[in-house]
Amino acid sequence: MKNKLSLSVTDQSPVHDGALPSQGPRDTIKLAQACDQLGYKRYWIAEHHSTSAYSSPCPEILVGHLAQITSNMRIGTGGVMLTHYSPFKIAETFRMLSVLHPGRIDLGVGRAPGGDGLASAALSYPRQQIDPQAYPHQVYQIMGHLYDNLPDDNPFKSLETAPNVPENPEIWMLGSSDGSAAMAGQLGAAFALALFIGTHDRPTEIIDQYRDAFVPSPGLAKPQHMIAVAATCAENRDDAFRIAGTRAMWIFKAMYQGQIIPLPSPEEVEALYDDFSDREKAGFQDQLDHAVIGTPDDCRDQLHTLADQYDSDEISVVSVTYHFADRLKTYELLAKACGLG
């Protein structure tokens, strides 16, 4: 068991309690301020588009605000979905954030769209959508702009990344497969393995592949990784599983039935579940089985087991609940159980 396990937060800015979407960012602010005092290491904002369940289409804006109102945690994105954006624009945005909040900004990037095909088309309009296969080159370009080490034959070599000072974010590549891990290593970026995305097998050898592929970069001298997991913690185990049903049901409806719905309440989850076929019930249960759920002691033990399996001394926790109070309680209980602060 790891002697000291750092915990971080990945916040998808869920819209709680059936409220207006404008409440989502406000709840993110409240949660970030609480986690800053609880001893969490980082606080990352996810990117989602055109959904009634999540309310963070532009995480970089929340990053700037959260960095201003917190003082202890690193603040960043988990992550910016690069297929929608210019590498130079991202480099300048995060250079500015790093100048305003030196030593506290993380740039986490991913290649998932963060929304459906129509949202992706709108984000690119009137240009062609960027091919996801260009993702590693986009990360390479961002690093080149920030570290001022683009090769001489690069057409953007002469550009200055404003503000032109040596203050940069930590760069993290987010992924859920061995291909993403090797890519992060080859580029010399830190790697966050998203265990909360999907239920496919993620062998622990993924971390070995990242380390084996790692090439030092101006921003990172040696490999650095974390894992990110979905978690729900409550004083009572039955309550924890009931609360966790909200996230499991939303993902099941979205991924397996193609239905994008508001976050369902625990009561709505029970009603939906009762009408499921045996196959649907198994799919719903699969979502629960791939999350950390239970009492504080249960969750602490599960987190340490995962940390040992993936040789990670840092875990980022994703918690999605119907009630904001339940999400806040998850982070409070985990902080106490894991000895943060």
State the pLDDT at residue 104: 99
Q: What whole-number distance in Å separates Cα of residue 135 and Cα of residue 122?
A: 19
State the pLDDT at residue 199: 77
Pairing state between β 42-45 and 190-194: unpaired
State the pLDDT at residue 1: 66
* Residue ranges in the chain whose pLDDT is less than 50: none
State the pLDDT at residue 6: 98
Are residues 323 and 15 in contact, defined by beta-carbon separation less than 8 angstroms? no
Question: Looking up tokens 């009492």, which residue turns up?
Answer: 295
Angle at 10 between CA 34 and CA 138, to 5 degrees: 140
| Full set of structural domains in the chain with CATH | 6-337 (3.20.20.30)
190 beta partners: 172
Q: What whole-number distance in Å separates Cα of residue 161 and Cα of residue 113?
A: 26
Q: What whole-number distance in Å separates Cα of residue 96 and Cα of residue 77?
A: 14
State the pLDDT at residue 118: 82
Instruction: Read off the tokens for 4.
Output: 């000291």
Q: What whole-number distance in Å separates Cα of residue 328 and Cα of residue 4?
A: 23
pTM: 0.95
228 beta partners: 194, 316
